Amino acid sequence: MLRRSLGRALSFSLGALTLVALPGLAAAKPAESVTIQGTTNTLSGDQYYDTFTVMAGATLHVLHLAADGSGGRLSIHANQIIIQATGSIEADGAGSQGTNDSDGASPVAMGGGLRGMSMGDPGGGGAYSAAGGQGYVVDATGMCQPNAGSAGGKSFFDATNKMLYVGAAGGAANGSPPNAGGAGGGIVELIAAKITIDGTVSARGASRDAFGGVAPGGGSGGSIHIATAALDGAGVISVAGGDGKHAPGFGLMKCTSTADCGGRGTCTGGMCIMANDGGGGSGGVVLFSLPSTATLPTSLQIVSTGGASGAGGGATDCMGMAATNGQYLTETLPGDCVDADGDGVLSSSCSAPGPVGATGLMGGDCDDADKDTHPGAKEVCDGRDNDCNDAKDDGDDLCPAGETCSKGACVEEVSDAGSHGASDAGSPPDYVRFDGGCDVPPGLPAEGSAGALVSLMVLVGARSRRRRA
């Protein structure tokens, strides 16, 4: 299998995954083709399609991670995936969510940005591929300094095992009112024999505006996994971290209103709060699973920049250091081919039927979006080629006793005593009555065969001879 345990590995942090289909996008059956249009489409969890297309100008949103563990991740398994120019799949801010007056949430302990330690302290940035950015404040001398009470989260990505996670949230600002940090990016996984990206695929960290004179931290970027035997396009793949915003202020002094702060600060809790910046979220992770001979198209743009600290501030305002960028990695597909549906058989688009080298895998899956279709699968009566032998609904015992497979469905067998053209002739007639003419009971064709006509003539002749006698 391709990414083996991606779904299982995420289960401990994401819980059950669900599908949500809002107006404009109905849930599809396995191996059906789907075209995304409009901007109100929402999906999450594992989805299987034949061809999956995001039209120009359309947007598919990944449902945000909820308290019950649903959402946060979308994995599309298909034979082909197409994202047209100006079309997009986005999981921005769909990962771990920020919480008022709290450290940022994270799939791994200590990954979220810290809540500002003291009144007036900004929040730290969320971590993932790298540590989250630290929050900054203006000290008594007017210098912009990193603030010890606004630490960013700790990195938790392991480039060796390449386990993918949602991004961590930024820490809340310690102000009045408290202000939650930005959410981390979610996870988007695209697995198909052929993938074309001319639009955008993103799992960016989110930013939150500053309130009460104190800025929260930004969320880290999430994860994007692209596994395919053929990748092309000129689109954008982004796991950028969310910015920590700038909040104005001047010196710590007592105040009764903002006017007491000289027009350069905000009176919060009876104190003028120093100017400050939330920490930026770190960049996320992009993982490509490709054939050993493949190279990434130079036309694709990969963005994994860390979030800024002090976004929105002026040229002379406190501007802290941005968080560390994320990273992208590549790995080789087993057998240089893809198994999008996870049935252990590689796609026929990049493998022939039979064993594939020393991989222990088989090839020749004629529908790699349906785990019940592959060489060696049981043929069933459904109008499809389940065992990939180029024949539909072939073989014995497709239906229960007394039924037969017809047009992809098991139907009751009907006894046939003969035919007239393409129609069922019904049972033979029980009698023929001659009373000055012929009555043909129901079931006997009005235009019968030559044999039926001869029989009637013989009977008429015999009746005439008896009358003359």
Name the E strands within 256-353.
Answer: 266-268, 271-273, 276-277, 285-290, 301-303, 309-311, 327-332, 345-347
Average pLDDT score, the chain: 82
pLDDT tens digits for range 60-114? 999 999 999 999 999 999 999 999 999 999 999 999 999 998 999 999 999 999 9
Q: Are strands 236-238 and 200-202 parallel, antiparallel or unpaired?
A: parallel
Give the C-alpha separation, 349 to 367, whole Å: 9
Q: What's the pLDDT at 439? A: 55
Report residue 151 as tokens: 């630490």
Place of tokens 């990695």: 329
Asked if 333 and 229 touch (Cβ cutoff 8 Å), the reply is yes
Left (φ > 0), alpha (ψ -120 to 50) or beta: where does 443 sit? left
pLDDT tens digits for range 338-391? 888 888 888 888 888 888 887 778 888 888 888 888 998 999 999 889 999 889
With a pLDDT cut of 90, the percent of the chain lying above it is 53
Mean pLDDT of 239-255: 81
Main-chain dihedrals φ then ψ at residue 97, nearest 5 degrees: -100, 145
pLDDT tens digits for range 142-195? 678 899 999 999 999 999 999 999 999 999 998 877 789 999 999 999 999 999
Q: What's the pLDDT at 112? A: 97
pLDDT band at residue 27 using 50, 70 and 90 as cut-offs? very low
With a pLDDT cut of 70, the percent of the chain lying above it is 78
Report residue 227 as tokens: 């596994």
Burial class (CB in 10 A: 0-12, 13-18, 19+), 423: exposed
Residues, the chain, total? Answer: 469
